[in-house]
Structure 1
Amino acid sequence: MREHIHRIQASKFDSTRMTHYLGDQIQNEIINLLGTTIKNYILNKVRESKYFSIILDCTSDVSHTEQITVILRYVVLNSETKNVTICESFIGICPITSSTGE
């Protein structure tokens, strides 16, 4: 990454501009793609497990907006060693528009 940034900074003085993929839009797109890939990996692990649970926790942020945290807890069985591992994975934070239970 250091080399990539160095080449971009050096090319600013060149007449030929190189593509650098450091703009805010491309960075947000890369972050979203990585997040989706990680979330799909976690969901596949949960689908493979025999047991899982969903953990929800509500809290308000600085602007007093209620938010809910979604965490998945699931059991992973290593078929070779027969070891059982309990995993917890953070899935996301969602704003709560209503707290009536509907």
Structure 2
Amino acid sequence: MVAEFDPIMKEHIRRAQAREIQYTYLGPKIQNELKHMLADEMRSAIVMKVKHAKYISVILDYTPDASHEDILIRGRFNKLVNGLGLFTELKNVLSNLELDIDNIRGQGYDNGTNISGRHKGVQKDSKTKSEAESLAIYELENFEFLLGMVIWYKLLHTINTVSTFFQAENMDIDEAIKCLQALILFLKKYRETGFSSAMDEAK
């Protein structure tokens, strides 16, 4: 199938069929080995980005079994995990990837009472709940934080409006220049008077 669109693969298969080469690397064993190597490289690259970002969110998919018990499907590890043991399983996976569970700042679950935490799920972790409440009280309600949000919203909203116009299929170059000039004028004006107006809005 790949050879139909890839000339290198097409030539490789031709040589294999003509017995011009002894090793084809097309058997299931080598293919699985290559897939595992690619998966390991991708996982390492993703983990590196996650560690750089520090804070993470987790999303877990599962399906109810015949008895309506929440079952987490984890094809990568080739096994099923009961929802009640999900927290332990999550800790093990994060530990194997050398990621700190205390850096989780978001959780996503599709359906299920056990997994979502109404009974014994992941959200029963009291430390995470305490840190979330602390973040809400001491950071989100902090005046400096609110002021920063007001400033960034104003700036990013204005820049995004111009950026969206630039990406339109029927974008006119003369109008684009006018938009860019207006953006520069806005930024200059905001640098002079924006802080005081942002202070008022934050208050």
Q: CA deviation at 1:58?
A: 1.2
Count residues with an aligned counterpart: 72
Deviating beyond 4 angstroms after TM superposition, the runs of 4 or more aligned structure 1 residues are none
Computing the radius of gyration from Cα coordinates, the structure with the larger value is 2
SS at match of 2:50: helix
Q: State the identity %.
A: 39
Q: Take 1:47 and 1:31, find their aligned partners in 2: how far apart are those partners?
A: 24
Change (3 A) 1:60 1:10: farther
Q: CA deviation at 1:18?
A: 1.5
- TM-score scaled by structure 2? 0.31
Which is bigger in relative contact order (C-alpha 8 A, separation at least 6)?
1
SS at match of 1:19: coil
Change (3 A) 1:28 1:60: farther
Change (3 A) 1:50 1:21: same
SS at match of 1:18: coil
Alignment partner of 1:42 is 2:46? yes
Q: CA deviation at 1:93?
A: 6.7
Gaps of 5+ in 1: 70-91
Q: Which has the higher helix share?
A: 2
- TM-score scaled by structure 1? 0.57
SS at match of 1:20: coil
- What residue number does 2:13 align with? 5
Gaps of 5+ in 2: 1-8, 66-70, 89-203
